[in-house]
Structures are given as structure tokens and as C-alpha cells.
Amino acid sequence: MFISVPATSANLGPGFDTLGLAIDLRNEIVIKPSRFLSVSTKGEGADNPKIKKNTLFLHIFNEQYRRLTGGKQPVFRFEFTNRIPISRGLGSSSAVIVAAITAAHVAAGAKYNKRKILNTALRYEHHPDNITPAVMGGFNVACLEGERVYSKKRRLPSYLRAVLVVPDRTISTNRSRNVLPKMYTKEELVYSLSRAAYMTALFMSESWDLLRIAAKDKIHQERRMKVMPELFEVQKTALEHGALMSTLSGSGSTFFNLAYADDADALATALAERFPQFRVMTHGLDNTGVIGKS
């Protein structure tokens, strides 16, 4: 059995907990029948004892597998290849959740569709901006109604690239949420709401050259960037060297830069030269989302 799930970038500036897209940077899991549970991990986090054990994946997989099989004890060998940087705002936790639920359905031989996977994932991650593109691929607008995700997907063209600037340290989701105020002014809300709506229209109509206007935000982005002030310079450098938009990816610390494929290498070079202490990665965008094969 084989499971593959993409990285994601959420918020995209003004689309707080609402907008997200999938990046062609994938974690993969090979699952084999076994007489006893065993786990091997290579790639990102392989030298971290907590991550190496894949505790979150196994917890969700076991819970879902037992639910689908009427209580059977799962015994498998799991071989993880992690390519998504961990705790850097690229949806590594959402990828684990989506992969585990999909893997449980495949291993149990249970029928499923992506909408079912998405709504099940909501039990473990109550923000749809990462889990939706991880499941569906593409650019997604998502909202919650009760315990259900409602979303709309737009496929992304092959002539765009994600140029990612990945700092050498994390910004925890809890810390990044704690820096946000409990109250906002009407002006701040209207500023960001109007740009989230405008960004959605631009993605749906493929009007890329206006994205840098739509990507501005007054809800979360600058407040979170102050935790790691050099991110302001990352954004400035990216916009000066051809980025169509430059936004904090999720709660950080990665910065997501969208560029035309013809401009991506020059943008990546400029960022790598300016910030040699950070990783710079260039990837295509993903329209497939999670893949599960028996």
C-alpha cells in the first residue's frame, strides 16, 4: 500500500484559516503486512526521536482502522519518507492527519472519497485551510458549518512555482496564535476581508499580476512576523525580485513566494544569496492532493 500527501501553504496573507493551496512537495508512506508493528523513517525529522516514532500518525491510523474494521488490531510495517519541513508552516501536521486517515481506509479495504477524508480530518484539525488542499490539491477556499467543511477548488497552472524560504528555526502555532489580539478594529477587518475576497477572485480568474495587492493583511501576518523580524526583509527581497506575492506560510516560519516558472530560478538565487542561513526551495504546485493506493 502507498500513501502520498502534499505540503500546503495556508492563509496566503488575508485568507486567515480560509485560503490554502497545495505544493508539489510530498511525504510518502509504504505500508506492508507484518507480524508485528514496525516503523522506519527517513528524510525530514528522521533524527528527532519524537517525530521518528510517528506517534500522531499511528494514533489516528489505529483509531480509524479499528473503527472501519469493527475493532481489529492493526499490525503493519510503516516506511515513512518525509520531505515536508516540520513545524515550518507547510502543513506537516495536516499531512500526517490526512495520510493516516487515508491509509486506514486503504488498509481496511473501506470505500472512501476525498470529501469523506476531509470531514474526518476535521476531527483532528479544526482549521480547514491546510487540510483542504492536502486532501484536494489546488487552490482552495474553505469554511466550516458545524462539523463539515465546505470548499471550492481551483486547479493551478503548470507555469507557476512556489519559491519557499525556510528559516532554521520554528514559530510554534501556539506562540503565533498568542501574539494575535482578541479584538480587531472594523478598519482592520474590512482591509483583510476585502483582500481575501479579491485574492479569491484573482486565483479563480488567473489574474496573477495583481496578487501583491491582494496578499496584504492586517489580521495576523505582520504581528506574527515580528516574532522573527528578518521575515520582513525576506518579503521585501522577494517582491523586489519577481515574486507575484510573498506571504507567511501558515503561522510560519516559512515564507511562501509565488512566481512564474521563468522567474523562479532568479528569485530563488536572490533569496539564497541574501539569506544564506535559510533554506530556499523551489517546487511546482499540486493539483492532486492525497493519493492512496492498495
Residues annotated within a binding site: 85-95
- For residue 150, list its beta bridge partners: 143
Distance in angstroms (rounded) separating the CA atoms of residues 249 and 45: 19
Residues 178 and 185: their CA atoms lie apart, in Å, by: 18
Return the number of other C-beta atoms located less than 10 Å from residue 19's C-beta: 25
Q: 251 with 224: CB under 8 angstroms? A: yes
Q: Which three cell numbers stand for residue 262?
A: 521563468
Q: Which residues are annotated as a binding site for ATP?
A: 85-95
Q: CA 163, CA 183: separation in Å to the nearest integer?
A: 33
Torsion sign (Cα): 110, 116, 117, 122: negative
Radius of gyration of the chain (CA): 19
Phi and psi at 115, nearest 5°, equal -65, -40
